[in-house]
Structure 1
Amino acid sequence: MKVGNRLTIYIIIGLIAGIVIGSIFSPMADQAWVQWIDQYIFNVVGQLFLSMIFMMVVPVVFISIVLGVVGVGDPKTLGSLGIKTLSFYLVTTAIAISIAMIVALILQPGVGQSELLDSTEVEDYRSNELDGETGEAIDQTFDQTLINIIPTNIIEAMGTANMLQIIAFAIFIGIAMIAVKDKIPGLIKLFEEANEVVMWIVLAIMKYFAAIGAFGLVATAFTQAGFGAIQQLGMYFVCVLLALLIHLLFVYGSVIKFLAKKPFIWFVKGFAPAMGVAFSTSSSSAVLPISMETAQKNLKVRKSISSFVQPLGATINMDGTAIMQGVATVFIAQLSGIDLTIMQMVTVVVLATVASIGTAGVPGVGLVMLAMVLTAVGLDPAAIGIIIGIDRLLDMTRTAVNITGDAAIASVLNEQQNRKEEKAKTEV
């Protein structure tokens, strides 16, 4: 069973059908029969698919990271791979948010729309979100994020799908298995067999449920938001999409072309199934099992690299989310009649880049990070209420960009490892 072109076509059909039908139903969203269809058909179908792939995230990440570490073999090589991965991710995230701020400064989406700050959405967000869980998330400092990487209870970490803690524990297990490798061939074989089982389940979910699940998720998103929500915030919407497109084509395109030595069209065509599922789920973590399998089968990224680089990327590489934060920060500053200083813009770039580390890859988490960024540069985080209505639609596009970045970096590191091995063979 493999991820093939026919499945890609089915997923695309599901996405298009969901957009069209959701957009048709959106103007009638307050009618009872539309609400019934949305709740009991679109939502049920979509959430069942989402639950099935979320069900596989923890076992896939844990088993894959352990096997990835064991596959690398040398702890020094593992350390080098980790440093390269983290460096690539931080650099691309910083570039992403810089592109976003430049686009927003040029197109000025917030100029002349200061009345939006007086909307009921702003007050609703202030009263309902900033004093609740979002406020607690904002208060977590960078040192606490670092401390929380090491789990005190791995069962709890797996139960809450804390990806950084799961990755840290899996790395420890993998290193220990390398140290006693000759004594545990049976355990290594058990992990390899477990990997075959969980990946078979992932591919079965993809084969039989991905297209209809994508349809349900997208249909309910467009029924509830629809293109009507875009009208008032059209320039903001355009700025985010334009920045995402620039980053995808020029940054990832250059990375694949010049560092991975592959045609970008080949990369996009091979990775399209994962991008389609990411668009529908709006969750980097949920699509992780699919993006890993797609990269390994279609992009020919070796398992030892894919199993390490992509789960880490799903946790700390948030280029699409960073783009939203960059555009939104400039947009809200323009609404407020504030010209951001160079120092404030640098603060936004640095803070959003660092904040991406440890952020959960779940729908809507970018708004939590955005509130922290706005507070740091003296802007009212309650203004997030203005953009929350269309954020679900943008979240779909930026999640697709997030996981594409993970696969691009995995392809680069895979190519570097191939060249390193070829050079070693030549020398021998």
Structure 2
Amino acid sequence: MVHKRVSLTTQIMVAMGAGIVLGVIFNQIQSGFISTYITGGLLAMIGKMFVNALKMLVVPLVFFSLICGVTGIGDIRVLGRVGGKSFGLYIVTTAIAIAIAILIAKIVGPGQGFTMEGIDTSGISAKTAPSVWDVFASIVPTNPVQAFASGEMLQIIFYTIVLGVAVLMLGEKSDKFVEGCEYMNEVMMKIVSIVMAFAPLGVFCLITKTFAEQGIDLFLPVLAYVLTLTGALLLHLFVTLMVILKLFSGLSPITFIRKIRPAQIFAFSTASSNATIPVTLRCVTERMGARNSVASFCIPFGATINMDGTAIMQGVATVFLANVYGIDLGLTGYLTVIAMAVLASIGTAGVPGVGLVMLTMVLGQVGLPIEGIALILGVDRLMDMIRTAVNITGDAVVTAIVAKTEGQLDIATYENPLAGTADDDLGIDPAAEEKLAHLARPH
């Protein structure tokens, strides 16, 4: 009897469920040994190692993949069209996301009748909102090496595109360089497979630690805010984005949700769009059939500037805090919130907790007390996990639309439910290993 191997996605979902259950149990036990040595020690260490391993892949994967993408397109005008489409769609979806969030929050009215008793409002500092000029000027790196070392994604994308264009302009002289980049891109995707083999363990540790530290009790004082935010996030994910996908590409939203699920799980676990880039890239190329020439640009670009989930949080949080403090922002105030959220999303990195940094900019701009963030600080980690999943879903939707409209999406792969699942295996070839070992031996 042949036993069917459990897919990696199923393993990760089981690990996530087990982590939630065990984390809640640990939270209820309140043991010093567990908090110090288990959640704060072993689980924190493994979880951090896993996230670091994902982040380790991002910069080299984006560089080699984008070089291959630019040279694969071969036409600078097409590259400009792909960039224009993706940028326009990212800005539009972010604006729609926060507008919907504000509308839902105004209808539900979270924060009305809320009392400030027992809330620590100390230690909250405001961040200065970047000007539109600073945002765009900072895209050009003064030192490319420093940009790569610090993971400044917009600067990395800009420099890599310029390099790719220069490579194209050199023509046949660049053949060996392009071949080398294509090989390195394959190597990086194989390293992604190696890291993902440990995904169930990493996800289990991350989720267990989060729920062990946060628990359920933190949600009770701000339950209306949590439910409103969660509802707005899920509405945008399953309705707004899927309608946009269907309207602009004609692709099946149900198939899309099935294909993007592994990336959503990773995003939920890591709460980082940037750390999820390798998994999102793999989903849209190997599972959906988007050509690397489009995906290698759209996914890193989206992870940096497209923050639908974060924008939704800002909209709901702004309405919540306005209700708490009894301040009527009016139409002008909410339009300012929309504009600020879109601008801040362009100039802010896709890392855990960035939503709170962006929120301080928005609150300061509309005159709400920055200290109010303390009200939602306790539940922000778990909310961050959900909104990151929404963020990367938006990245994948735009990538699928751009790829489809550019004729760079393989429909057969998109509609094949098994596409990309074979790559869950590490695919080690014993014969190839022996051949390489033979070459490496001294003669």
| In 1: Cα distance, 2:144 partner to 2:282 partner | 25
CA distance in 1, matches of 2:129, 2:395: 28
| Structure-to-structure mapping, 1:37-116, within 5 angstroms | 37-113=38-114, 115-116=115-116
CA contact under 8 A between 2:24 and 2:212: conserved in structure 1? Answer: yes
Q: Give the residue type in structure 1 aligned to 2:236.
A: H
1:279 aligns with 2:268: yes
Instruction: Return the alpha-carbon distance in structure 2 between the equivalents of residues 413 and 139 of structure 1.
Output: 31
Deviation, 1:16, is 0.7
**What does residue 203 of structure 1 align with?**
193
**In structure 2, how many angstroms separate the alpha carbons of the residues matched to 1:421 and 1:43?**
40
1:99 is displaced (CA, Å) by 0.9
Q: Is the aligned partner of 1:400 residue 2:389?
A: yes
Q: Could you say which residue in structure 2 is the equivalent of 1:138?
A: 128
One-letter code of the match for 2:191? I
Q: Read off the aligned partner of 1:204 and give its amino acid letter.
A: I
For residue 121 of structure 1, report the CA deviation from its aligned partner.
2.4
Shift of 1:30: 5.8
Contact 2:403 2:409 in 1 (8 A): no
Query: 2-side partners of 1:5 and 1:32: how far apart?
Result: 34
Q: Match of 2:52, as an amino acid? A: S
How far off its partner does 1:182 sit?
1.6
Mapping of residues 3-402 of structure 1, within 5 Å: 6-29=7-30, 31-113=32-114, 115-116=115-116, 119-123=118-122, 125-126=123-124, 130=125, 135=126, 137-207=127-197, 209-402=198-391
Alpha-carbon distance in structure 2 between the residues aligned to 1:7 and 1:149: 37
What secondary structure does 2:379 align onto? helix
1:141 corresponds to which letter in structure 2? Answer: S
Query: What SS does structure 2 have at the residue aligned with 1:284?
Result: coil
> Is residue 305–residue 414 contact of structure 1 (8 Å, CA) maintained in 2?
yes
**SS of the residue 1:152 aligns to:** coil
Question: C-alpha deviations, 1:194-226, integer Å up to 9, x for none?
Answer: 10111100111112x111101111111111111
How many angstroms apart in 1 are the aligned matches of 2:366 and 2:277? 33
Q: 2 CA distance for matches of 1:313 and 1:53?
A: 17
TM-score by length of 2: 0.89
Partner of 2:416: none
* Alpha carbons 1:62, 1:166 under 8 Å: kept: yes
Give the 3 Å change call, closer, same or farther, for CA 103–250 of structure 1 in structure 2: same
Which residue identity lines up with residue 288 of structure 2 in the other structure? L
Cα distance change on mapping 1:391 and 1:362 into 2, 3 Å:
same
Deviation at 1:104, TM superposition (A): 0.8
Whole-angstrom distance in 1 between the partners of 2:347 and 2:181:
26
Q: Partners of 2:391 and 2:92 in 1: how far apart?
A: 14
Q: Deviations over 1:226-252 (max 9, x none)?
A: 111111111100011100111011111
Cα distance in 2, alignment partners of residues 5 and 284 from structure 1? 27
Partners in 2 of 1:267 and 1:91 — Cα distance?
20
Q: Retained in 2: the 8 A contact 1:325–1:366?
A: yes
Q: Does the Cα contact within 8 Å between 1:119 and 1:386 map onto a contact in 2? A: no
Q: Who wins on radius of gyration, i.e. which is larger? A: 2
In structure 2, what is the Cα distance between the partners aligned to 1:421 and 1:193? Answer: 22
Alignment partners' CA distance in 2, 1:420 and 1:396: 29
In structure 1, what residue type is equivalent to 2:128?
I
CA RMSD of aligned residues (A): 1.7
Q: Normalised by the size of structure 1, how large is the TM-score?
A: 0.92
CA distance in 1, matches of 2:358, 2:25: 33
Where 2:251 maps in the other structure, the secondary structure is: coil
Structure 1: 5+ residue stretches without partners: 423-428
